[in-house]
Structure 1
Amino acid sequence: MPFVEKGMTVGLFGGSFNPPHAGHALVAEIALRRLKLDQLWWIVTPGNPLKDTRHLAPLAERLERSQALIHDPRIKITAFEATHHIRYTADTLAMIKARNPGVHFVWIMGADNLANFHRWQRWQKIALTLPIAVIDRPGSTLSFLSSRMAKTFDYARVDETDAPILPRSKAPAWTFIHGPRSLLSSTDIRNGATKPKG
Structure 2
Amino acid sequence: MPDLLADPALTIFGFSVLLPLAFSLLAKPHSPSPRSHYQLSHQSSRGSKKKRRLHFPLECLPNEIILILLSTAVASDANGGAGTYRTLLLTSRRLHLLASRTCLPFVDVHLRTSDALKSFHRFVLSDCDRALSVSYLRIDPFIPLSAYEQDSVCTFIVQSCRNVLYLECHGRVLKRSIAKTQPFMHKRCRRLLVWTRGEYMGAYSMERFEEQGTLVNFC
**Normalising by the residue count of structure 2, what TM-score does the alignment of the two structures yield?**
0.29
Give the greater-gyration-radius structure (CA): 2
Structure with greater helix share of residues? 2
Q: Report the structure, 1 or 2, having the larger strand content.
A: 1
TM-score by length of 1: 0.31
**Structure of higher RCO (CA pairs closer than 8 Å, 6+ residues apart):** 1
